[in-house]
Amino acid sequence: MEVSVAGEPFTQTASTGYDRAQELKAFDDTEAGVKGLVDAGIVNIPRIFIRPSDELVEELNCQQNSFQVPLIDLDEIKGSNREEIVYQIRTASETWGFFQVVNHGIPLKVLEDMIQGVRDFNEQDVEMKKQWYSRDQMKRVRFNSNFDLYQSRTANWRDTLNLSCSVSHNFDPEELPAACRETTLEYIKHVRSLGDTLFEIISEALGLKSEHLQDMECGGASTFVCHYYPPCPEPELTMGTSSHSDPAFLTILLQDQIGGLQVLHQNQWVDVNPISGGLVVNIGDFLQVISNEKLKSVDHRVIASGVGPRVSVACFFAGSDDVPPRLYGPIKELISEENPPLYQNFLVPEYFAKYAAEGLNSKSCLEQLKL
C-alpha cells in the first residue's frame, strides 16, 4: 500500500520481503511525523509501529485494578501544613515513584495555554514544522518523531518538540517556534520555580537540609519534551510511548484531559487519570541513584488511542550542565556500614549517551550502575 505523506510517497511493505530499515527511513524522510500519516488518511498503521506478537498477547492478559496514584495538595506548603506534605511526598516517592499535585502555584491559564501552544505548533502547515525537524541531539530546539526511531524495537505513535535549556542559558525568544513561543517561555518560568520547591521538599523527605539537592544542582539543566499523540486508526497494535523510566532527577508532567499515561505499580499498569489543573511528578533514575534507592524511579508508558490528539509536556530536571561534567552518586549522608552504596558514581552526559544508543524501550540503564 502506498499513500502520500506531505507530498512524498510512503510505502507499507507486505510481510514478504519486508525491509524495516527502508520503511524507517521512508517515514523519517517525510519529516511530517505521525501526524503526516494521519493527515494522509491511512487506515492501517505501518509495520514499524506494530508491537511484537508476544507483547500484544501479554497485553490481553493484563488485569484490571483499582489502584490510584497518590494526590498531594501543595496548598500551605510554606505554612503549617509543610510537615504533612513532606511526609506525603516521601511516602509516594518511596512506594510509587509517582504522584499528582494540585494547588502548585501555576495558574490554570498558563497550563491551558501551554497545551494549546503545542497543538498550534503541530497543527500548523507541515512546511513550517519541517524547519525544526532534526535528529541532531545537540540542537537546543528540534522536532521529530521518536528520538530513538532507528534503535527502537517498534516505533511509537507520537511526534515531539524538544527544548533543552539551563539556568545559565535562557532561551532567546527567537530560538523558539513562533506558534508556541510566548506560552512556552511563560510555562518554563513557572515550572522551574515549582521544581525548586519540589527539590526542597524531597531534600527534607530524605532527612537532609532543604537546600541539599539544589546545592547539588539537580535542577540545573532541564529539557521540555512536548509530545503530540495523533488519533490512531489501530491503537490496539501500537503504543504512544513504550515502557521506560526517566533519565533525570525529577520529571514534572502536564497532560491534557484525554489520558493514556500509565505507571507500573505492584506489577500492574495503573492509569494516571488527568486532573484539571493538576500536574504529574515522578522520580527519575538519577534521584534513585543519589538517594541510594530510597526513592524509586519506576516504569511508565502511554497507551495509544483512537481519540485525540493527546498533548503532554514533560519537564526533565537533569542536573548540572557544568563543563567538565559533575560526578553524581549516592549522597554520603544517606550511606553507612548498615546501608552501603548500591550504585557507582556516574556522569550525566555518559548516561544520556547510553540511553540514546539503546533506545526508549530497552532495559533500564540503571542496572549498569549497580554495584
- Could you tell me the CATH number of the domain that includes residue 238? 2.60.120.330
pLDDT given for residue 4 in this prediction? 45
13 within a domain of the structure (yes/no): no
Is 174 part of any domain? yes
In a domain, 29, yes or no: no
Residue 288: inside a domain: yes
**Contacts of 201 by beta carbon, 8 Å cutoff, 6+ apart:** 77, 82, 85, 86, 89, 210
How far is it, in rounded angstroms, from Cα 217 to Cα 209?
A: 14
pLDDT of residue 78: 83
Quick check: is 17 in a domain?
Answer: no
E-strand spans in the chain?
Answer: 2-5, 8-11, 71-73, 98-102, 141-144, 159-166, 221-229, 239-244, 250-255, 261-265, 268-271, 279-283, 300-303, 310-317, 327-328, 346-347
Q: Which residues of the chain have pLDDT under 70?
A: 1-16, 166-171, 361-363
The pTM score is: 0.93
Amino acid 13: pLDDT: 45
Specify if 148 maps to a domain. yes
* Number of domains the chain contains: 1
Tell me, yes or no, whether 237 lies in a domain: yes
Res 336: pLDDT: 94
Residue 36 forms part of a structural domain: no
> Tell me: the pLDDT tens digits for 254-289?
999 999 999 999 999 999 999 999 999 999 999 999
Host domain of residue 85: 53-369
